[in-house]
Amino acid sequence: MMRPALSEHLPFVGALAAALVASAALIVWGDEYAVSIGLTLLMWVALVQSWAAFSGLSGYISLGHAVFYGVGAYVMVVGWQILPVWLGVILAGLVAGAIALLLGWPSLRVRGPYFVILTFGLAEFVKYIVVSIEAALGRSGRLLIGTPSLRELFGAMLLLAVASTIILYVLRRSRLGSGLLAVREDEIAAEAIGINTARTKLLVFGLSAIIPGMVGALMSLRFTYFEPMQSFSPVTSFTIVTIAVLGGSDDVPGPLLGAAFLVALSELLWARAPELYMIILGVLLVSFVLFAPEGIYGKLRSWNRGEAQ
């Protein structure tokens, strides 16, 4: 962290450019199946990078990020055929950010397992509010007709994945991000060196919800259907944390590696051994927590450090 030389950013810029070229090639030459896998991968990248911008840097593990995805999807379907599609996506992000500020204000006062449980509970709470609203309106689901094509959605998701990656990269090296790292390490010491910890946490929590809201909006366009139990499913939050644990969430490469690993694994096993998929995933997760809690990227880094010494 924190060395000012320009050359330090070269690997990041290079990797980003390579990813963009690969994605462009996929849009132009890829078949429907390849593009849809690409879309799923980019979705997880965007979600986990956004999550890591808050939870990875602050150490406050949010188990409620599914709520922002769900809120985004809900804003999209409510505004469907009222708002222009892409304006709906932006609005979904802003509403998700506002909800995060509202939920973060009380919940960021506790930390550790209390924060984890509280974010999970609040996410479920919002889910059932939406379920109730939909039931009161007499709707059991909403259909979206005339949504953008898969390739258009892929392009939009690519933008979000790139944006979330750049945000995490810049944030981690910024004044604001350095405050968040200090919060992760020791909140009292952080206050003592001039960091407004409450404001720092809330601000980044709000920021980290915007892109997940937009991702939710895009995915509702992809599924062309909205059902609150599915859009607000806590499995989204669990998967985000799983990817972060597998890859590491301390810096940009972690979520990328984790997302690629999980998407590849699920594609390999889903069709061939569906009954084994969750078992294998569970075993992997336990092994990572026990033997490589810093994730794939953290492990690679510590090997590197070991070799350097």
- For 136-189, what is the HEC assignment? HCCCCCEECCCCCCHHHHHHHHHHHHHHHHHHHHHHHCCHHHHHHHHHHHCHHH
Shortest distance, position 61 Cβ to other proteins, whole Å: 15
Shortest distance, position 186 Cβ to other proteins, whole Å: 5
Shortest distance, position 168 Cβ to other proteins, whole Å: 17
Q: Is the distance from CB of 56 to CB of 249 less than 8 angstroms? A: yes
Query: Which residues of the chain form contacts with other proteins (CB under 8 A)?
Result: 1-4, 173, 175, 178-179, 181-182, 184-186, 188-189, 191-197
Judged by beta carbon, residue 14 or residue 186, the one nearer other proteins is 186
Q: Is the distance from CB of 190 to CB of 18 less than 8 angstroms? A: no
Judged by beta carbon, residue 121 or residue 293, the one nearer other proteins is 293
Judged by beta carbon, residue 11 or residue 185, the one nearer other proteins is 185
Shortest distance, position 249 Cβ to other proteins, whole Å: 13
| Helix ranges restricted to H, 224-294 | 228-231, 234-247, 253-272, 274-291
User: How many whole angstroms separate alpha carbon 204 and alpha carbon 177?
Assistant: 9
Within 10 angstroms of residue 137's Cβ, the number of other Cβ atoms is 9
Shortest distance, position 10 Cβ to other proteins, whole Å: 17
CA dihedral 71, 72, 73, 77 (to 10 degrees): 100
Q: For residue 80, what is the DSSP state?
A: B
Shortest distance, position 199 Cβ to other proteins, whole Å: 9
What is the DSSP code string of 40-61?
A: HHHHHHHHHHHHIIIIIHH---
Q: Give me the residues paired with residue 143 across strands.
A: 225
Q: Is the distance from CB of 212 to CB of 65 less than 8 angstroms? A: yes
Judged by beta carbon, residue 192 or residue 289, the one nearer other proteins is 192
Backbone angles phi, psi at 80, to 5 degrees: -60, 130
Shortest distance, position 6 Cβ to other proteins, whole Å: 11
User: How many whole angstroms separate alpha carbon 121 and alpha carbon 181?
Assistant: 26
How far from each other are the two terminal CA atoms of the chain, in whole angstroms? Answer: 19
Shortest distance, position 125 Cβ to other proteins, whole Å: 30
Helix (H, G, I), strand (E, B) or coil at 83: strand
Shortest distance, position 56 Cβ to other proteins, whole Å: 12
